[in-house]
Amino acid sequence: MDGAIRAALPILAALLSVHTRTSEQYQAENNNRTNYIKYMPTLPPFPGANRTMGYNPTMGPSSLQNNIEEPMFFLPEGYFYWLRPNWEGPAVEVVCSIYIDSLGAFSEKTMDFDLSLILGCQWRDERLANITSEHVSLPEGMEIWKPAIDVVSKDSTDYPSVLSVSPEGNVLMMQWFTIKATCLMQLHAYPLDHQKCSLLIQNRGGVKIVWGWETFWFPGDTPVVTRTSGLHSQLSLETVESFAYVNSLLYPELICVYQGVTCDYRESENCLRAQCTSVEKITTEQCRTCNYFSGKCKNGTDELAVRKPEDCVFGLLMASDGDLVFTTAELRFTLRRRLSYHMLQIYIPSISIVAMSWVSFWISIESSPARTALGVTTVLTMITQSGRPIPMPEVSYVRAVDVWLLVCQLFVFLALIEYAAVNYISRTLKEAKALKRYIRPSSKKRNSNSNANSLPTNSNSHAENSAEDTVVTTASGSNTAENIDHICRWGFPIAFLLFNIMYWLTYNYIVQT
């Protein structure tokens, strides 16, 4: 284990710096190498180390310095790098694990996400056993067999891999990837949604990929380790699932999942405020945990049936010969959208606008300019709030945020319509009062002359009766207008509260199921 650690540390350093080197530098180095390249990068001092190791591409075997011991590594005679180990036998078992350096951002508009990771894979090549007495890192120009790893993505940058060989013939390959992968998001419950995004790693040419591999950063019971300070704050990471299965585009009946691991990442939320990127805190116990966070893992998954490897033996046998059947490693991220941003940008402002429209119910019916201005202002403000540019794809279904904004617009619009109704009733009242003042003097005049005309005409009697009916209708209309305002003062808030209860319960249920 100590030898593996000593060999892997300079590999990590090379991976972290390899993206800064230009293609011209790589070409220049390759031109200077000879066929018998010997290589060992300088290692930091370890307890018990009794020599210094270095690499000089221009130095031949005859110019070795006496005080420097450099391990030599030659490919054995008859070694063909295009042939996999045990090429006539079963598929080569390649054990892989991943260190996630950053995850995010996620784009709903383009349906993709960014990911930076270090992929480490290990396999056994008997042809390279007993060549060296310790772990040796291989130069870039030396070609040995390695699995053909294909990361399925929209766009990716894969930097040169770094290889090392142990005395037992175990080959370790580590490679840095910067990936933009596709994630087909379901936005029905947006922004209360959960998303599942996957990264596929396909291996062809007689390879059986397996998640695992115990290293100095992997305890062995988890295939994925994450630097939590590299997680995007847009979404919180809840679980990471790792699958390995036989795959085929021509023979779907051979698809067989033979490994599954589920890791709970909800405790990674505790690392958000740790500030583990600063020098002062990076060596603390909390930051060591957060920068190499693995979650709580268990074998199997709740959503997918994982078979025993012997149940997939026919598919694995087919995968050992040809490229029509191959094995695939899948990382599946379950993410929950953080609601704080949308609460501040959408929900709280729209609630404030709706509540502002209720002020109209408390203003006197006679204050027509004030109520009209308030109603029109809240309607226009709500329309502006609904039309804010949000980078979203043009989906053919209604999202949760659409339902919210439409109902808020409806409440504001109904508040304006309510004033139109009570204003109409109030205006009718005024017209009725004016008619009442006009009819009463005429009625008194006719009553004073009743002695002269003992029998009133039918038309005069009808006019008096109409005036009395108008007075009763006027009083009733006044009460109706005031009652409508009184009902709306409490009816609108109660109705909006009931809508909120139904809205949040419904979409939380949809997300959970």
- Predicted pLDDT of residue 411: 95
- Predicted pLDDT of residue 21: 43
Of 109-123, 198-212, 296-310, the poorest mean pLDDT is in 296-310
Range 20-30 average pLDDT: 43
Q: Are residues 232 and 299 located together in one domain of the fold?
A: yes
Range 4-33 average pLDDT: 45
Kindly state whether residue 496 falls inside one of the protein's structural domains.
yes
Whether this model's pTM surpasses 0.95: no
Kindly state whether residue 100 falls inside one of the protein's structural domains.
yes
How far apart are the C-alpha atoms of 507 and 448, rounded to whole Å? 75
Q: Are residues 369 and 315 located together in one domain of the fold?
A: no
Kindly state whether residue 75 falls inside one of the protein's structural domains.
no
> Are the beta carbons of 237 and 223 closer than 8 angstroms?
no
> Are the beta carbons of 404 and 347 closer than 8 angstroms?
yes
Q: Are residues 213 and 361 located together in one domain of the fold?
A: no
Range 157-165 average pLDDT: 84
Confidence of residue 280 (pLDDT cuts 50, 70, 90): confident
Residue 231 DSSP symbol = B
Kindly state whether residue 41 falls inside one of the protein's structural domains.
no
Q: In this predicted model, what pLDDT tens digit does every residue of 84-121 receive, in sequence order?
A: 888 888 889 999 999 999 998 899 888 999 999 999 99
Confidence of residue 354 (pLDDT cuts 50, 70, 90): very high
- Predicted pLDDT of residue 44: 34
Confidence of residue 215 (pLDDT cuts 50, 70, 90): low
Q: Any long-range contacts for 379-387 (C-beta under 8 Å, 24+ apart)?
A: 379/409, 379/412, 379/413, 379/416, 381/353, 382/350, 382/353, 382/354, 382/408, 382/409, 382/412, 383/409, 385/346, 385/349, 385/350, 385/353
Q: Are residues 306 and 405 located together in one domain of the fold?
A: no
CATH number where 138 lies: 2.70.170.10
Domain closes at, from 290, 309, 338: 338
Domain closes at, from 281, 305, 338: 338
- Predicted pLDDT of residue 503: 96
- Predicted pLDDT of residue 20: 41
Domain closes at, from 317, 338, 359: 338
Kindly state whether residue 59 falls inside one of the protein's structural domains.
no
Q: Are residues 279 and 369 located together in one domain of the fold?
A: no
Is the pLDDT reported for residue 25 higher than 50?
no
For the chain, give the percent of residues with pLDDT over 70: 74
Q: Are residues 130 and 188 located together in one domain of the fold?
A: yes
Q: In this predicted model, what pLDDT tens digit does every residue of 477-501 receive, in sequence order?
A: 557 778 888 999 999 999 999 999 9
Quick count: other Cβ atoms within 10 Å of Cβ 202? 18
Q: Are residues 404 and 497 located together in one domain of the fold?
A: yes
Q: In this predicted model, what pLDDT tens digit does every residue of 222-254 receive, in sequence order?
A: 788 888 888 887 889 999 999 999 988 888 888
SS3 (DSSP) at 226: strand
Provide the domain limits for residue 320. 88-338
Kindly state whether residue 45 falls inside one of the protein's structural domains.
no
CATH number where 404 lies: 1.20.58.390
How far apart are the C-alpha atoms of 190 and 400, rounded to whole Å? 5
Average pLDDT across the chain, whole number: 77
Q: Are residues 365 and 495 located together in one domain of the fold?
A: yes
Q: Are residues 346 and 362 located together in one domain of the fold?
A: yes
How far apart are the C-alpha atoms of 75 and 73, rounded to whole Å? 7
Of 12-21, 144-153, 413-422, the poorest mean pLDDT is in 12-21
Is the pLDDT reported for residue 299 higher than 80?
yes
- Predicted pLDDT of residue 396: 87
How far apart are the C-alpha atoms of 389 and 346, rounded to whole Å? 12
Kindly state whether residue 65 falls inside one of the protein's structural domains.
no
Q: Are residues 103 and 170 located together in one domain of the fold?
A: yes
Structural domains in the chain (count): 2
Is the pLDDT reported for residue 348 higher than 90?
yes
Tokens 């003042």 correspond to what residue? 437
